Structure 1
Amino acid sequence: MDPDTLFVIGLGLGVLSIPAVVSAISKGERPRIATITLMIAGAMVVWAMSNKPGGYAIEAIPAVVAKVLRSFT
C-alpha cells in the first residue's frame, strides 16, 4: 500500500481514537480498545514515514491529505 495512504489513515485513526480515550478515562474505565487503536495508528504513521523517501514535512501534511482524498473520488 502507498505510504501516503497509510499515513493519512493512521492520522485519521489517531484523531478519532483520542476522544474515545478521554471518554473512557472520564468514566473511570480502562481505555483498552482505544489505546490499541491509537497504537495501531501510531505504527501506521511511523511505517509510512520510514518508507517514504525524505519523510513528511509538517508543511506538506495538508497536501498529502488532499492528494489521498482526491485519489478516492
Structure 2
Amino acid sequence: MSNDQILVIGIVICALAIPSLLAAYSESRPPRAGAIMLLIGGVLLAIALTQNPGGYRFADIPNIFMQVIAGVIK
C-alpha cells in the first residue's frame, strides 16, 4: 500500500468520524466509535506524513485523491 493510499484512507476515516462524534455529543453519550475512528485515521495520517520522503503540501491533496481514485477504478 502506498503512502498516498494511506493518506487518503486516513482522511476519509477522519471525515467519517465527525458525524459520529456530533451524534454522540447531541445525544449525551460517550463518543466511543467516533473517537476510535478518529484515532485510527490520525495514526494513518501520521504514518503517511512521516513515511513520505518529500512530504505533502496542502495543495497536493486533491491531486492525490484523484490519483488514488483513478488507480482504484483502473
In the superposition, the TM-score normalised over structure 2's length comes to: 0.95
What is the deviation of 1:54? 1.6
**Residues 30-55 of structure 1, C-alpha deviations (whole Å, 9 max, x = no match):** 00111011010000011001001121
Gaps of 5+ in 2: none
1:41 is matched with 41
Matched, 1:64 2:56: no
What is the deviation of 1:3? 0.7
1:23, 1:9 → 2: CA distance?
22
In the superposition, the TM-score normalised over structure 1's length comes to: 0.97
Once superposed, which parts of structure 1, at least 4 consecutive aligned residues long, lie more than 2 Å away?
A: none
Question: Residue type matched to 2:59 in 1?
Answer: E
2:16 is matched with 16
Give me the CA root mean square deviation: 0.6
**Residues 10-69 of structure 1, C-alpha deviations (whole Å, 9 max, x = no match):** 000000111100110110000011101101000001100100112110000000010000
Percent of aligned pairs with the same residue?
33
